[in-house]
A and B are shown apart, each in its own frame.
Chain A
């Protein structure tokens, strides 16, 4: 760990004050002159043929400015992964909540009233809700795909059948994990505005500004340069806030009316048409030797993607094989099938499939530990990946704190004593997990992060990044990294909102990648800016840049503490000498990850791998079955904590969630 003066020290979020005062403007607070309010007419049926839409009565309602349907869109198929999306339903609706039409009106109440006046004729079709049912022959076809299958994932290593025969203990079990709604406090929202030159500005609550921009340009049939995405404050996401038709419906309404249009889901709509976690049927079989060594794992997952695929197939694949880099297995048989259902489209939620499989695997390991009469903590330590090891899928574990996490959690929770003195109705459970910090496999064309650091005449350091702060404190982490590198105070830094006209292209915030990638990109940018500002300071001091150092907003001549200038003074001199040009550092960081082989999945997908162990102590009311968590211990290997208080908040929030 480095010797830092700002990184690694707990600081409040740099925008905490404006949030505490209630003056931070969230997407659903934005207001523009002439702004209209949009609402979506959603399907009341899980599966139906769309025979006719008559918007004429709605259009006549006073205050209504536009009613749009698929006919008002370019009607191009699109989607983040598979092109099974349209902005509004065409021919069929496929889930309760599917977008059928949208209204823009002078206020939300009028827009809601207008929705009731749109007459839609449906012919109901048989629907299917469970992915196992949806795969059966004769099940209603949702997208004319054979057996409703979106995608199939297979990955085999070693000789699983022989390995199971040679195991001392094999445990097989079927698990089911629910479709869980993320329930961020601010529902999905946007403001869309087409200007008279035909350029669309989207103020979005999105974790992936640059990626949504590409997807949306395609959906709207616009060249990329005609779409600009700006990301204001937004109220939480937890994986859900990526692409959504809500944003596109707003764009279509704005195009039609020439006015800015604000769209905000009400909470019920957000439940109906958000992006909840992919529910999975998991069949898991694990074999071990007497001494607790895990040998073989066979898994078959059937996941429900809902009525269109968002990232579900990648999530099912992740659930299939990420844990193989948590514990050593020599033999693997893996199958993950993602299936359309007539339910809300499902997608990312904290862990990208990892949570679902962690539940199944860790439950299975407890059964194995019990059968082998081993301490469940010992079983995990024995099999966990260690620093310097390479997993069966090629992940190079630069550092693993797994064993430390287990030992610390065991100690802090009183695991050993409490397990000895068993009390009726009380129980103690332990689980481990691993994860990535960015995932090379997510977008095969690209890996990396970039940043821009701009220092103006007044000495203010403006930081531009292309990731997304949904409340996790990323902006603060970026400010800390840039302040550390430049040798300025934290209050000299301002982090600009993401604006795709100005900010670097960024993949966005997911898979625990934003701070690592954006932060390293900004570190490189700050280094560039520092070189420039040292060049100017060297001229002022009549020395060479190598003789300079910066700390707390001042630039010093090394070894001469009385010779120093405020950072702002140097910046001013530089800007004035250079015809007004700001001091700009642009930097990027591309990690030496290895793109996984498309078939074997062998590769090194992340620049770092976090590990964790958590222990829950619960009390069960033996009459009602009600479970109360009485104690909880979480130990995480987070690498270098940029802002310790923020990462504690992430872990506490994650545990509670």
Chain B
């Protein structure tokens, strides 16, 4: 070790000692009105943060100075950036971690009194008591789900696909397999997962959710035990809406992007302005339209009700994307004798697959979180989506079972998390390539 390296461990040790001292000399926590208070606690926390930042940045600066004197500042800045980003991540993740902790907890309410024993953060209620960890809530929430034998195959295939995806991603990051290979594997695994999930979604029915009464009869399960059914309903509705949006809006986007015709501007304006109407305020009108078409309490009706807004927005995005693609490809195809429609299907669609995926995912994610329209058009509990089911935990009754709510929330978020992260490149990549213009 060079002599100039000595100050770094010294600096780090000093900072660590400072932080330890700040916490060790903190006054005992006082109970004040059912809260645990450390008087002037924020000064210590702030001090610790400053020491941490100073220590890390300072060490980085010193380290930089010994290696590359001119770039020392850059090193400090980088170290500071890392620290800041981790702080941001910690802040963002706190609610998520708390939710997970509540879901893995035996106790059922959020409003219990503070525990007596345990480390400070447990006694203060910052996080639930880890000693009461259990799978009780998940067991409760999944207890009424009965999987028909052939569906286990789909589940197995889906799990296999998911594991492959994760494994390949990790291997690619560790650079064990070349990038393009990894992409190929990921794509196949993604399709396998998607296919298995689609099969599951279509095949699961409300009849599989029951509890068995004392005399052996099947009693349909109550709403706080059927989160899997709600997830299935939501996946079905969101998936179909996404497919619908893609199917209908691509031709419209193409027309706007490539063709010039009288009334193009006006139609474009109509598309833009019509989508500004807060869709669900026409709730009563939509309801009567659906009941006239005999589509009340059906998923078809709900999907069609979503389609109006979905199509306008998707067409606009697709148009923007197409405008950034050179028309030379189609020209070449037309010169070779293809019709306009042929060029569209054989040239444009294949190269816009990333954008189509993006549109699908965007609509999927948007409809996943929509619930006012779903709440009105879907009446019975067997048709509820995740949002309605979760809301029923807090408004449909007087006593909120927070543990079951948390478990259901975690389960309800898993599909969209999985989809979001599997297609993260597609989702965020569109913004990167500048494909989305106003």
Q: Do A and B come from one complex?
A: no
Residues of A within 8 A of B (CB): none
Residues of B within 8 A of A (CB): none
